Amino acid sequence: MLSIENLKAKIDKKEILKGLNLNIKPGEVHAIMGPNGSGKSTLSNILSGKKGYEVNGNIKFEGENLLELETEERAHKGIFLAFQYPLEIPGVNTNTFLKTSINAIKKARGEKELDAIEFLKLIKQKSSELKFDQAILNRQLNVGFSGGEKKKNEILQMSILNPKLSILDETDSGLDIDALRIVSEGVNSLRNKDNSFLIITHYQRLLDYIKPDFVHVLKNGQIIKSGNFELAKELEKVGYENFN
Amino acid sequence: MKQELEMDSRQKEIENLKDYKYGFSTDIENIRAPKGLSEEVIKFISKIKKEPEWMLNFRLKAFERFKQLKEPNWQKPKYPKIDYQDLYYYSAPKSMKDKPKSLDELDPKLLETYKKLGIPLQEQARLNGIAVDAVFDSVSVATTFKEELTKQGIIFCSMSEAIQKHPELVKKYLGTVIPTTDHFFATLNSAVFTDGSFVYIPQGVKCPMELSTYFRINASETGQFERTLIIADKGSYVSYLEGCTAPMRDENQLHAANVELIALDDAEIKYSTVQNWYPGDKDGKGGIYNFVTKRGLCKGKNSKISWTQVETGSAITWKYPSCILKGDNSVGEFYSIAITNNHQKADTGTKMIHLGKNTKSKIISKGISAGQSDMMYRGLVDISSKADNSRNFTQCDSLLMGNKCGAHTIPYIKNKNLKSNIEHEATTSKISDEQLYYCNQRGLNQEEAVSLIVNGFCKEVLQQLPMEFAVEAQKLVGISLEGSVG
């Protein structure tokens, strides 16, 4: 589904990714762990198409050259990024935003757009599946949301858009234990043989809930080790600094 | 060589037309007054409209005053000097000489023009239940639903017709809010106004439908001088919609309308405008000068006047729809969205003059500037010494797009009454790249993202618009900002 070959990225002339390789197959859950400044967020930004980076290397998504696609085109193809810091958009109702989003994607795919009733049915179903309080959907997008509400909202958006590849950028940061569990359950409920996940995190804690198939250690712009869930436990014991 | 140049400029004109959705003109022969401004021209206008003597005298009085006035220049957007002798002050489609009795009798070309504007008269009238008084150039061409309104005693007609059929009302109220001795452009209007709408709602009547006028400037070099007068008698209610689009013109065109609203005891007038005149091309060439005087008088106690405007067009917008709160407990409201893009300029806001006791006013202004445009909110809140327990709340928000545009806020606040209070809030923000990225990541392209964010910013004002306008206005907000984010 996704193959990254020798990915290098610079921002403001500073090299952040220094030859990263990664392959994700349909249905797989990959976790990337690494210390601050190792390039984790840069990787998620580049995959989702944020501008401002000088990028070298190859990224193929379902056989297509991802780097040639605009940010929104990547979203249309099924790439979703759960933001570490979801943006506030004053005056825009969360429901309106979600409906605009899903219909923009459907339109780009040549599918029939949802009318108001179909949409309401969908969000009702999804929020009850995820045990989310639907009330937040009537508020302005992320405005005045608590940290936990923002992250839950990202997961709800993910479940409504049903992406092929979901990238979670430190979704666990700032969550209390209950919120962490709810968010993890949300992710788990979306797991199936077709959907893949790339989970970026500092801590093993989230991975206790979402058992990844693979764990990669990102340090200094490269993946220095890959393994299974045991690797995360090992990391937690020795710490990033002593891990080689 | 000369021919080549002409070809070039023609080619350019055609190219420009492609950018402006409403850029077309209809080929209808015009009846025109001779070029220029003089007593003769005013007499010509009055004569062709078969006006009574008092009307002509009203015009001539204004003209005398006009000759003594100087064109103001304190506004922020400057413009090249207008040669008032180089304009036509009257122009009417020829086919209008014999007034049509129904829509079917209209010049098909005229109807087609409206269709291109997206306002098919018949359909709109039939489907929406709106009575439409359409102004094509300077003459009202179609008035619908008149009968239904007549049953309730409501008068909704062109100003010309009102002068003929309801002289007592026109005589009593015309010029009472905007006198012939007012400022330069208002006085010019009083002298040369050609047509406009007249509305009278009798005592205790709630007008059952939204009254609507679409203005349209058509003939080249024609300044438009509309005159609108709305009177809501005791305990009545009316909601009035005014929408405008103009075809492409190379020369700058002056539009100096006067709108007077009068609300008597317990009456309410809601006046909504969507203004989408030609803003000029990307380089700031051409476009309409929108120098309009709009003023409402809350004459009676417990009366209310509410202005809502969505200003997206015109090269220069210079207007301050105002409320004079004379009656005790009267309420004035001003909700505004002003958008400037490319080289557009706007200097707009409101005046709330509190004279009566317990008067309240509310101002919500949303300014959006993009491209190299410049936006100014200028507003006056004046609470007189007699206006005990009066209140004003003002909120002015500016949104900037890019780094070549400007936004300014100048609130003038005068409170001469210790028992009254004024609140003012203002914010300035910018659409961030991060917000756009977030929207893009959710599948919205750049323009959809901008439209969504801006509509969110304007929501409080959009909510004030009647349903018929809200959807159109929302689309317009998106369209006017197209190409503003690279």
pLDDT of residue B423: 95
Distance CA A212, CA A155 (A): 17
pLDDT at B299 over 60: yes
Mean pLDDT, chain A, rounded, equals 92
The CB density around residue B118, as the number of other CB atoms within 10 Å, is: 14
pLDDT at position A235 is: 85
Average confidence (pLDDT) over B286-299: 93
User: Among residues B4, B481, B15, which one has the least CA distance to residue B248?
Assistant: B15
* Residues B224, B246 contacting (CB under 8 angstroms): no
Please report, for residues A5, A116, A214, B260, B439, the alpha-carbon distance to residue A65 in angstroms, rounded to integers and kept in the order given. 12, 35, 24, 62, 22
Residues on chain A touching B470 (C-beta within 8 angstroms) = none
A185: CATH: 3.40.50.300
User: What pLDDT is recorded for position B188?
Assistant: 95
Domain boundaries, chain B: 8-94+103-480
For residue A130, name the pLDDT band (cuts at 50, 70, 90): confident
Average pLDDT over residues B72-88: 88
Q: For residues B254 and B315, what is the distance between their CA atoms, to the nearest angstrom?
A: 10
Residues of B within 8 A of A166 (CB-CB) are: none
Q: B382 near B349, Cβ under 8 Å?
A: no
Q: Which residue has the tokens 């969110």?
A: B456
CB contact under 8 A, A91 and B433: no
Q: How far is B306 from chain A (nearest CA, A)?
A: 22
pLDDT given for residue B466 in this prediction: 83
Question: Tokens 């007054």 correspond to what residue?
Answer: B33
Total tally of structural domains belonging to chain A: 1
Q: What is the pLDDT of residue B287?
A: 83
**Alpha helices, DSSP H only, in chain A?**
40-48, 71-77, 94-108, 116-129, 147-161, 177-190, 205-209, 229-238
Quickly count: other Cβ atoms within 10 Å of residue B47's Cβ: 10
Is A136 inside a domain boundary? yes
pLDDT: which is higher, A241 or B426: B426
Percent of all residues in chain B with a pLDDT value above 70, rounded to a whole number: 77
pLDDT of residue B251: 54
pLDDT attached to residue B222 = 42
Average pLDDT (A80-86) is 95
Tell me, yes or no, if A156 comes closer than 8 A to chain B by beta carbon.
no
Mean pLDDT throughout B313-338? 95
pLDDT of residue B108: 60
Q: Which pLDDT belongs to residue B16?
A: 46
CA distance A52 to B61: 65
Q: How many Å apart are CA B341 and CA B326, to the nearest integer?
A: 37
In a domain, A193, yes or no: yes
Query: Please, what is the angle between helix B433-441 and helix B446-457, to 10°?
Result: 120
Start-to-end C-alpha separation, chain B: 38
Q: Per mean pLDDT, which range of B135-139, B192-196, B206-210 is the poorest? A: B135-139
For residue A243, being part of any structural domain is answered with: no
Nearest residue in chain B measured CA to CA from A140 = B456
Residue A114 maps to a domain = yes
Quote the minimal CA–CA distance from A240 to chain B in Å: 30
- Given a cut of 70, whether residue B22 has pLDDT beyond it is no
- Summarised one tens digit per residue, pLDDT across range A182-194 is 889 888 988 999 9
Give me the mean pLDDT over the A139-147 stretch: 93
Best mutation target among B430, B436, B440, B461 (most A Cβ atoms within 10 Å) is B440
Q: Is A157 on the interface with B (CB under 8 A)?
A: yes
Which range, of A225-229, A235-239, B59-63, B221-225, averages the lowest pLDDT?
Answer: B221-225
Of A36-40, A192-196, A236-240, B183-187, minimum mean pLDDT range: A236-240
Report the percent of chain B where pLDDT is more than 90: 53
Listed range (A217-226, B100-109, B123-132, B252-261) with the worst mean pLDDT? B123-132
* B485 touches B401 (CB < 8 A): yes
Q: Examine the pLDDT at B126 and tell me if it is beyond 50.
A: no
pLDDT level of residue B135 (50, 70, 90 thresholds):
low
If you average pLDDT over every residue of chain B, what do you get? 82
Chain B CB contacts of A90 under 8 Å are: 456-457
CB contact under 8 A, B453 and A92: yes
| pLDDT above 70: residue A17 | yes
Q: What is the 3-state secondary structure (H, E, C) of chain B?
A: CHHHHHHHHHHHHHHHHHHCCCCCCCCCCEEECCCCCCHHHHHHHHHHCCCCHHHHHHHHHHHHHHHHCCCCCCCCCCCCCCCHHHCECCEEEHHHCCCCCCHHHCCHHHHHHHHHCCCCHHHHHHHHCCEEEEEECCEEEEECCHHHHHHCCCEEEEHHHHHHHCHHHHHHHCCCCCCCCCCHHHHHHHHHCCECEEEEECCCCECCCCEEEEEECCCCCECECEEEEEEECCCCEEEEEEEEECCCCCCCEEECCEEEEEECCCCEEEEEEEEECCCCCCCCCCCEEECCEEEEEECCCCCEEEEEEEECCCCEEEECCEEEECCCCCEEEEEEEEEECCCCEEEECCEEEECCCCCEEEEEEEEEECCCCEEEEEEEEEECCCCCCCEEEEEEEEEECCCCCEEEEEEEEEECCCCCEEEEEEEEEECCHHHHHHHHHCCCCHHHHHHHHHHHHCHHHHCCCCHHHHHHHHHHHHHHCCCCCC
Q: Does residue B59 surpass a pLDDT of 90?
A: yes
pLDDT band of B102, cuts 50, 70, 90: low
pLDDT class of B380 with cuts at 50, 70, 90: very high
Instruction: In whole angstroms, give the CA distance from residue A46 to residue A79.
Output: 12
Which pLDDT belongs to residue B127?
A: 33
In the structure, what pLDDT confidence band is assigned to residue B142 with cuts at 50, 70 and 90? very low
A100 touches chain B (CB under 8 A): yes
Query: Has residue B173 got a pLDDT over 70?
Result: yes
Q: Quick one: CA dihedral B448, B451, B453, B459, positive or negative?
A: negative
Determine the pLDDT at residue B123: 42
Each residue's pLDDT tens digit, A200-216: 998 888 898 999 999 99
Write down the pLDDT at residue B350.
Answer: 97
Phi, psi of B99 (to 5 degrees): -60, 130
Question: Which chain A residue has the Cα nearest residue B442?
Answer: A101
Residue B112, pLDDT score:
55
Other beta carbons within 10 angstroms of residue A26's beta carbon come to 14
Residue B249 has pLDDT above 80, yes or no: no
pLDDT, one tens digit per residue, over A102-125 is 999 999 999 999 999 999 999 999
What is d(CA B207, CA A148) in angstroms, rounded to the nearest whole number? 50
∠ CA A225-A231-A236 to the nearest 5 degrees? 110
User: Span B450-472, mean pLDDT?
Assistant: 86
Under the banding of pLDDT at 50, 70 and 90, the label for residue B93 is: low
Rounded CA-CA distance B477/B479 in Å is: 6
Inter-chain CB proximity A100 and B457 less than 8 Å:
no
pLDDT band at B105 (very low <50, low <70, confident <90, very high): low
Q: What is the pLDDT of residues B340-357, one digit of tens each?
A: 999 999 999 999 999 999
| ipTM higher than threshold 0.90 | yes
Matching residue, tokens 């476009």? B287
Residue A51 covered by a domain: yes
pLDDT, greater one: B354 or A130: B354
pLDDT at B242: 84
Among chain B, residues having any CB pair with chain A shorter than 8 Å are 432-435, 437-445, 448, 452-453, 455-460
Mean pLDDT is highest, among B130-144, B225-239, B251-265, for B225-239
Nearest to B228, CA basis, from B321, B304, B311, B149:
B321
**Minimal-distance CA residue of chain B relative to A139:** B456
Q: Name the residue range of residue A105's domain.
A: 2-238
Residues across chain B: 486
